[in-house]
Amino acid sequence: MKNKVIILISFIAIIVVGLLLVVGIGLFNKSNKIKDLLNEKYGEDFKIVHDNGNEYEGGVIPSFKKTGYKNVIASPEDNKEIKFNVRLKLKPLEIVKDDYIPASIAYNTSKKIENNYKIGNKMYVYTSASEYECDGKITNSFFDNIKGKGSISISIYVEGLDKKFNYTEYLNKIVKDLKFDSNTTGTIRLYSIKENGVEKIKDYYKNSKDTVKIENSAVNIKKKYFETQNKDYFIKF
């Protein structure tokens, strides 16, 4: 009897391991196919950072019916700081929409500001963008003078900002120098942050897997580290 139980348990374990291997191989193959689709579209290598799984129909009553679509978060192999959403149709597997262009514009905008417009003791820039598109492979010149209808939101966090600092002149100069196309609308904000607050905000943005609602969900952490509660400098363009 004891031997029969051991054999049964072993048999069940083999089945479970086999199923896990099949699922794992399937996910691995699908991940590679998604990377191939992105490579074909942009001529670059990508990795899948996070797989949100199959999408299910919503409504008042939860449904277990699959929509036939899914979303993943991807990054270029050579730059893990750029994270973007990819929406996929599963059968046949194809990209419906991805946010690589907006995410790349956002990243390059942040780096330009951090490198060329340093102020205070410590500084971090987070930028989000939407709707931008371009044909073919992205080149450095594409970011020199952004074209195409889109929107952009820039948040600049600074520790040790002088209270007499001319924020209006500073923000207007950044907008002018970045040479956004007339079809671009956006906002730029400057936050005066408490000591050690910049690193906390930086970590929050970098560790988040939500590429869509990250600005809204970060409101509370921003307020927590304001030098003066709810104090920020704002320009719309």
Q: pLDDT by residue (tens digit) across 174-203?
A: 988 887 767 778 899 998 888 888 888 888
Question: CB of 185 within 8 A of CB of 146?
Answer: no
Q: How many other C-beta atoms can be found within 10 angstroms of the C-beta atom of residue 184?
A: 21
User: Using one digit for the tens of pLDDT, what is the confidence trace for 74-111?
Assistant: 999 999 889 999 999 988 999 998 989 889 889 989 99
pTM above 0.75, yes or no: no
CA distance 16 to 163: 64
What tokens appear for 22 in the block? Answer: 């099949």
Q: Long-range pairs for 111-117 at CB < 8 Å and ≥24 separation?
A: 112/178, 113/154, 113/156, 113/174, 116/177, 117/170, 117/173, 117/174
What is the Cα–Cα distance from 237 to 229, expressed in whole angstroms? 25
User: In this predicted model, which residue has the larger pLDDT, 55 or 124?
Assistant: 124
pLDDT, the chain, mean: 76
pLDDT at 169: 93
Which helix H or strand E contains 20, and what residues bound it? helix 2-42
Sheet-wide strand order for 122-130: 122-130, 150-159, 184-193, 232-236
Q: Name the fold adopted by 2-98.
A: Nuclear Transport Factor 2; Chain: A, (3.10.450)
The residue ranges of every structural domain in the chain are: 2-98, 100-236
- ∠ Cα 51 56 57 (to 5°): 150
pLDDT of residue 147: 56
Contacts of 27 (CB under 8 A, 6+ apart): 51
| Best CA proximity match to 136, nearest among 31, 34, 44 | 44
Q: How far apart are CA 223 and CA 229, in angstroms?
A: 6
At 228, the pLDDT band (50, 70, 90 cuts) reads low
The predicted-structure confidence for 119-160, as pLDDT tens digits, reads as follows 999 999 999 888 766 554 554 444 454 556 778 899 999 998
Distance CA 75, CA 29 (A): 18
pLDDT value at position 200?
85
Model pLDDT, residue 197? 85
d(CA 118, CA 120): 7
| Residue matched to tokens 């099949």 | 22
